Amino acid sequence: MDVLQEMKDYYYTGETKEISFRINQLTKLKKIISFHEDDIINALKADLKRPQFESYVSEIGVILESISFAINNLKKWSKIKKVKTPISQFRSKSYIKQEPYGVVLIIAPFNFPFNLCIEPLIGAIAAGNCAVIKPSEETVNVSNIIQKIFDENFLKKYIRVVQGGKEVITTLIHSKFDYIFFTGSVTVGKIVMKGASENLIPVTLELGGKSPCIINHDANLKTAAERIAWGKFFNAGQICISPDYLLVHNSVKNEFIQELQKVIKRFYGEDIYASPDFARIINEKHTTRLINIIENDKEKIIFGGNYNLEDKYIEPTLINNASWDDKCMEGEIFGPILPIISFDAINEAIEIVNGRPKPLALYLFTENEDVANKVIERTSSGGVCINDVINHYSNHHLPFGGVGNSGMGNYHGEESFKTFSHAKGVLNKSTRINNTLIFPPYSLKKLHAIKKILK
């Protein structure tokens, strides 16, 4: 790939490593995003029929904030960190230098097509890398805006947008990038990792899965219903960390379901199809997949269940008494369908979570701190929210990423910087003192001496 070589040549000029250069590029990016705010929001409307509010919050506001955070902190993050040196290496200085990887590849999915290209890019720029961005081929309008923004404002040998589907990506993942940052499904994540392994390219995999949401008997049900309905139906449920299914304590299940139904009507009105605040599914393939779930699990639906394939509309739908044999529990739902399972004791809920692949997020609603600590301690997930959903994502001070099946590696804030940096250990030894103890010819005397030091 000649283009990659051109980018590598540019990277090795060292220009992108200059702190002032990184800050200038981030500042420019921030200005350009603000300038194109309407274009980005309109593109999201065209691709996902996403409400302006949701688009601003999730793809513009959070990104502008993240760029500001990186600009304000990257000098601190890049600082050389002095560390101690053992006496055996007298006289040396040791330190850790954060070094960019070089030219990195960022592959993004369709559901937050702008954010999931730019958020990792912020880390890549902050760390001093060049980057190739591969936006989703499903969101043509957003991908074209991304292309325009970078083609018109950044050197192509520094940041390049490459569009395309499977063929393009196959070429990309078999090329000698210095790092691959992939966001998408578990299935494609495995393909990416396999491709990257040929050239031993390090990867971050931000994947998906079924994120459980536990509602304990002592939860504030009204607040839980509002927060869950918001998090589940935002972007019509096409969020990697939306609550995939609910585990509700038997004693509060009926009351909670009533609350949830009330909230959904309050948020979107009686005629949800007509609501300007409810998005559409990305394409016909995914709409059909969700319709299949509705049709298969029809007799358990207690709310919603309507759809319109032509308009890619799936109504917020509640499936009661879901079981693991139901279609809705087969894989990640990634749509506005919410299965409900009940439990009688918190240990049972913990067992259910631990019996499945490690989720990207775990949510728990409880007023009992001990229960919260117990669940955090005894389960494993990429991240956790107590008495909320999704919002751990929006705190730049928290690492965001999966574990096990939900991915590997973290990003956001300083974690993004670290992800796109190699921590290089440097030992710098003085020549004024030359310790000959370790050199041959070895002797018993030398061995005794070294044993006194290395113990």
The residues that touch ligand NAD, with contacts defined as CB under 6 A, are 107-111, 116, 134, 136-137, 165-166, 169-170, 183-185, 188, 191, 206-208, 240, 332, 334, 360, 402, 407
- Alpha-carbon distance of 393 to 386, in angstroms, equals 13
CB of 230 to ligand NAD, least distance (A): 18
Say what the alpha-carbon torsion angle 202, 204, 210, 215 is, to the nearest 10 degrees.
130
- C-beta of 109 vs 128, nearer to ligand NAD: 109
Name residue, tokens 């760390």. 127
* Sign (positive or negative) of CA dihedral 150, 155, 158, 163: positive
- C-beta of 244 vs 259, nearer to ligand NAD: 244
Is 206 designated active site?
A: yes
CB of 282 to ligand NAD, least distance (A): 8
Residue number with the smallest Cβ distance to ligand NAD:
208
- C-beta of 232 vs 249, nearer to ligand NAD: 232
- Alpha-carbon distance of 47 to 139, in angstroms, equals 6
- C-beta of 128 vs 402, nearer to ligand NAD: 402
Identity of the amino acid at 420: F
**At residue 368, what are phi and psi to the nearest 5 degrees?**
-105, 110
Q: Determine which one of 130, 240, 328, 385 is catalytic.
A: 240
CB of 423 to ligand NAD, least distance (A): 23
- Alpha-carbon distance of 416 to 128, in angstroms, equals 12
- Alpha-carbon distance of 242 to 316, in angstroms, equals 13
In the structure encoding, which two tokens stand for residue 59, read together? 């793809």
- C-beta of 315 vs 332, nearer to ligand NAD: 332
Is 240 designated active site?
A: yes
CB of 240 to ligand NAD, least distance (A): 3
- C-beta of 180 vs 319, nearer to ligand NAD: 180
CB of 235 to ligand NAD, least distance (A): 10
Contact 374, 349 (CB under 8 A): no
* HSE-CB for 92 with a 13 A CA cutoff: 17
Buried residues in 267-287 as b, exposed as e (16+ CB within 10 A): bbeeebeeeeebbbbbeeebb
CB of 111 to ligand NAD, least distance (A): 5
Contact 400, 410 (CB under 8 A): yes
Tell me the pairing of strands 421-429 and 92-100. antiparallel
- Alpha-carbon distance of 105 to 125, in angstroms, equals 12
Contact 358, 403 (CB under 8 A): yes
Identity of the amino acid at 394: S
- C-beta of 123 vs 128, nearer to ligand NAD: 123
Q: Determine which one of 206, 259, 414, 415 is catalytic.
A: 206
Residues catalogued as catalytic: 206, 240
